[in-house]
Structures are given as structure tokens and as C-alpha cells.
Structure 1
Amino acid sequence: MTVLPLSTNFLGSMEPCFFLPYASSNTGKNKGFKVLVSLRESAIADFREEMEKFSRKEFSKL
């Protein structure tokens, strides 16, 4: 299995983050990857809110 660590600048945080391939036994999702993110408990609520916006394709313009 290949696990790729992301740069700490990628998410603007010092928390660990990795790209993980889907398991070969998961036939429904054979393209793409999973992202494993480790967060402090105080950041989880905001992270979930941002991921909900992302899944609805509500991107903010910087």
C-alpha cells in the first residue's frame, strides 16, 4: 500500500494528513483516494462544516 504524506502547508495546519488508496476489496470505489486527517478536538466542528460546504460545491473565493 502506498501512503503519501501531504505538506503541512497544504491544509494550512501542522496536523498530520495523508492520501490513502481505497482497499482492493472495495469494488465500488476503485478510483480516487481517501484522505486521513488528524485534528485537535477543538477543530473538528469547523472542519466538518467546511467539508459539508465542499461536498455541496460551495467554494469561497479568496
Structure 2
Amino acid sequence: MKMATVTDTYKLSNGIEIPKVGFGTWQIPAGDVAYNSVANALKVGYRHIDTAKAYANEASVG
């Protein structure tokens, strides 16, 4: 089985494509750590950033 890369996508039933691989932000502390982590993930090609209100780092991720 081929491993998914950050550029591989799934096609949804409505025709929209979403990345197969996402960058998770759970347990990344808010502030510069979260901001820089997400900035670096975007630089290397991630386009799906997984976040949730419960992680309490949304402002820094955004």
C-alpha cells in the first residue's frame, strides 16, 4: 500500500477534494509554538490543519 503524502487528496461525493493527510494541533501549546508549528507545516506543503476549540490554541493556529 502506498503511503499518502501531503499532496494526495480524497474526492468527496460533491466533487470537492480534501487532503488525505492533515497536520494535527492537539497538545501544541498556544502562542509562538503553535503559530510557528503551523507556519512551518504550511511551508512544507500541508493544506489541512486539524484544530478544535477544545485544544485551546485556535487563535495561535489561525
Report the TM-score, using the length of structure 2 for normalisation: 0.32
Report which of the two structures shows the higher radius of gyration computed on alpha carbons: 1
Report the TM-score, using the length of structure 1 for normalisation: 0.32
Bigger RCO of structures 1 and 2 (CA < 8 A, at least 6 apart): 2
More helix by share: 2
